[in-house]
Amino acid sequence: MIREREKDRQNLLRRIPAVGVLVQEPGIRGLTEDYPQAVVVEVIGEVLGNLRKRIIEDGEFEPDLSSGGLLELVKAALGKRMQPKLRRVINATGVVLHTNLGRAILGRQAVEAINQVAGSFSNLELDLETGKRGSRYQHVEEILCRLTGAEAAMVVNNNAAAVLLTLSTLAKGKEVIVSRGELVEIGGSFRIPEVMAQSGARLVEVGATNKTHLRDYVNAITEETALLLKVHTSNYRIIGFTQSIEEGELVALGREKGLPVFHDLGSGVLVDFRNYGLRPEPRVQDSITAGVDLVSFSGDKLLGGPQAGVIVGKAQYIQQIRKNPLTRALRVDKFTLAALEATLQLYLDEKKAMEEIPTLRMLSYPLEELAKRAAALAEGIAAVAGDKLRATVQDGVSQVGGGALPEEDIPTKVVAITIEGSLPGLEDFLRGRPAPILARIQKEQLLLDLRTILPGEEEEIVAALGEYDSNN
Ligand SMILES: *Cc1c(COP(=O)(O)O)cnc(C)c1O
């Protein structure tokens, strides 16, 4: 019996063709039109090696060794090898601004704008009226000023760069006063004290962690002071016995002492969140109205645009910043400018911004809509999954993420999945799909939050769960 089996295995092994032979098969030869020859040969070697290994290790394994069967295996392995490393994923986590998932996604207008300038030449640094050299910043300056009320604006690579550049321009070799309660770390890599050190400015901390008074700032001002800095503590909140200085008070102090005031707002919010049932976040235009000299914010947080760092404020300071040689190193590219302009255009009509900017649309998505979509998704899953898993609609909470509105739990609807087998196994399976599906595990359930699942992605989720086999 055992001898028979041994012979079977030997037979199977003998039927595996040599790499050099398989490469010459017409079907496989055709693959070299789509894929580099060297990679095809490498992948064939891998596929055949894996087959050999499985035949030896698994006495039950009966592979299809026909040329058609081998072609399918090679094709699948090649597809996997050549798929981009950076690719689209389905965000079912309910975290709207997920830094690991690329933060804000762009609306169709912004994507179209990138398309327009990507494969064609553009007037990036050409003034079309005069035919002379222009500035890349001019394309978005007017609209940024219009939306925020600022005199001037410019854009760099991200908000960390905006803060670095502003500090370096206005306070290099001098002192910057900031409240101890605002020395934030964002995303593990941006820390105010470290950015300050890099800029060449000296940090002067005032107040205590929970309380800072105006007199703390007053007492810290010396001949060496160049700037008063306020940082929006966007990703945490100190609660209880607290006090911080209102923007207006700091502006008045700055005026009195002849010192500019710079507010790092973090998220760039232009709409009043209270109108949409959310906790209010400070708006850029309110800082400008309060008289703050410079305000900086991210493009890809609550603004819902591309990664960028926007600086708006007084023209005299923006002009100085533009002349800083660091600006060249931190400069923004044309795709970002195109997407940012298109996103900002939408803000000219707030209703349109709420509908068309994905970040804002997701945050204000009506619960009834989410409930409807969740019911349809659960039904779709039940239809393909048989009894291998159970899907029910439940109440859940979504999060803003991206270091914004830390306490804000937004009620949502989720599809909760339970299975007989291993839940982490299911999670890995979903993450391993060509379009990976990212979900959350909570209390022995895998949760799919409809808030961040884009309309149309439900079908892919249903298809994936239909293919899931807990035995594999
Ligand atoms: C997010 C954030 C930053 C960093 O912005 P990036 O665009 O990620 O570089 C800086 N300051 C504050 C207050 C932030 O919230």
Task: State pLDDT tens for residues 427-461.
Answer: 999 999 989 999 999 989 999 999 999 999 999 99
DSSP 243: B
Q: How far apart are the C-alpha atoms of 234 and 27, rounded to whole Å?
A: 57
Q: How far apart are the C-alpha atoms of 169 and 165, rounded to whole Å?
A: 6
pLDDT band at 211 (very low <50, low <70, confident <90, very high): confident
How many A from CA of 160 to the centre of ligand 1? 6
Q: How far apart are the C-alpha atoms of 123 and 338, rounded to whole Å?
A: 11
- Residues within a 6 A CB radius of ligand 1: 158-160, 163, 184, 186, 190, 231-232, 234, 264, 266, 298, 309, 403
- The mean pLDDT of 171-186, rounded to a whole number, is 89
% of the chain residues with pLDDT over 70: 94
pLDDT band at 208 (very low <50, low <70, confident <90, very high): confident
Long-range contacts of 419-422 (CB under 8 A, 24+ apart): 419/388, 419/389, 419/390, 419/446, 419/470, 420/388, 420/389, 420/470, 421/470, 421/471, 422/470
Q: Whose CA is nearest to atom 2 of ligand 1?
A: 266
* Residue corresponding to tokens 């007989």: 420
DSSP 434: S
Task: Determine the residue of 99, 189, 298, 300 to mutate for testing ligand 1's pocket, defined as the one with the most ligand atoms within 8 A of the Cβ atom.
Answer: 298
* Residue corresponding to tokens 């603004």: 303
Q: Are 270 and 303 in contact (CB under 8 A)?
A: yes
Atom number of ligand 1 nearest to Cα 267: 15
pLDDT band at 469 (very low <50, low <70, confident <90, very high): confident
How many A from CA of 59 to the centre of ligand 1? 57
DSSP 150: -
> Which pLDDT does position 406 carry in this prediction?
58
Q: How far apart are the C-alpha atoms of 342 and 60, rounded to whole Å?
A: 59
Q: Whose CA is nearest to atom 7 of ligand 1?
A: 159
> Which pLDDT does position 183 carry in this prediction?
84
CATH number for region 90-98+363-467:
3.90.1150.180
> Which pLDDT does position 472 carry in this prediction?
57
CATH number for region 108-356:
3.40.640.10
How many A from CA of 425 to the centre of ligand 1? 35
Atom number of ligand 1 nearest to Cα 309: 7
Task: Give yes or no for residue 143 having a pLDDT over 80.
Answer: yes
How distant is the alpha carbon of residue 263 from its chain centre?
23
How many A from CA of 430 to the centre of ligand 1? 31
How many A from CA of 426 to the centre of ligand 1? 34
pLDDT in tens, 367-399: 999 999 999 999 999 999 888 899 999 999 999
Q: Whose CA is nearest to atom 1 of ligand 1?
A: 266
> Nearest to residue 273, comparing CAs of 242, 312, 304?
304
How many A from CA of 188 to the centre of ligand 1? 11
How many A from CA of 159 to the centre of ligand 1? 5
Q: Are 30 and 67 in contact (CB under 8 A)?
A: no
Task: Determine the residue of 157, 164, 167, 190 to mutate for testing ligand 1's pocket, defined as the one with the most ligand atoms within 8 A of the Cβ atom.
Answer: 190
Q: How far apart are the C-alpha atoms of 74 and 30, rounded to whole Å?
A: 12
How many A from CA of 371 to the centre of ligand 1? 33
302-322 core/surface letters (b: 16 or more CB in 10 A; e: else): bbbbbbbbbbbbbeebbeebe
Q: Whose CA is nearest to atom 13 of ligand 1?
A: 266
pLDDT band at 240 (very low <50, low <70, confident <90, very high): low
Helix axes 159-171, 315-323, angle to 10 degrees: 100
Task: Give yes or no for residue 465 having a pLDDT over 60.
Answer: yes
Which element (helix H / strand E) includes 127? none
Domain ranges of the chain: 2-82, 90-98+363-467, 108-356
- The mean pLDDT of 104-133, rounded to a whole number, is 97
- The mean pLDDT of 388-411, rounded to a whole number, is 85
Q: How far apart are the C-alpha atoms of 277 and 287, rounded to whole Å?
A: 22
Task: Determine the residue of 97, 234, 281 to mutate for testing ligand 1's pocket, defined as the one with the most ligand atoms within 8 A of the Cβ atom.
Answer: 234
How many A from CA of 186 to the centre of ligand 1? 6
How many A from CA of 21 to the centre of ligand 1? 57
Q: Whose CA is nearest to atom 12 of ligand 1?
A: 266
- Which residue type occupies 264? D
pLDDT in tens, 271-322: 999 999 888 889 999 999 999 999 999 999 999 999 999 999 999 999 999 9
pLDDT band at 182 (very low <50, low <70, confident <90, very high): confident
Q: Whose CA is nearest to atom 5 of ligand 1?
A: 159
The residues near 291 (Cβ < 8 Å, ≥ 6 apart) are 247, 248, 251, 255, 261
Top pLDDT among 170 and 183 is at: 170
Say how many C-beta atoms besides its own lie within 10 A of residue 258's C-beta.
7
Phi and psi dihedrals of 84, rounded to 5? Answer: -60, 150
> Which pLDDT does position 3 carry in this prediction?
76
pLDDT in tens, 116-129: 999 999 999 999 99
> Which pLDDT does position 332 carry in this prediction?
97
Helix axes 192-199, 159-171, angle to 10 degrees: 50
Phi and psi dihedrals of 168, rounded to 5? Answer: -65, -40
> Which pLDDT does position 246 carry in this prediction?
84
> Which pLDDT does position 386 carry in this prediction?
80
Q: How far apart are the C-alpha atoms of 445 and 11, rounded to whole Å?
A: 46
Task: Give yes or no for residue 221 having a pLDDT over 60.
Answer: yes
Q: Compute the chain's Rg from CA coordinates.
A: 28
How many A from CA of 172 to the centre of ligand 1? 20
> Which pLDDT does position 405 carry in this prediction?
58
pTM: 0.92
Task: Give yes or no for residue 256 having a pLDDT over 80.
Answer: yes
DSSP 207: S
Give the chain's length: 472
pLDDT band at 235 (very low <50, low <70, confident <90, very high): low
> Max Cα separation, the chain?
98
Say how many C-beta atoms besides its own lie within 10 A of residue 186's C-beta.
23
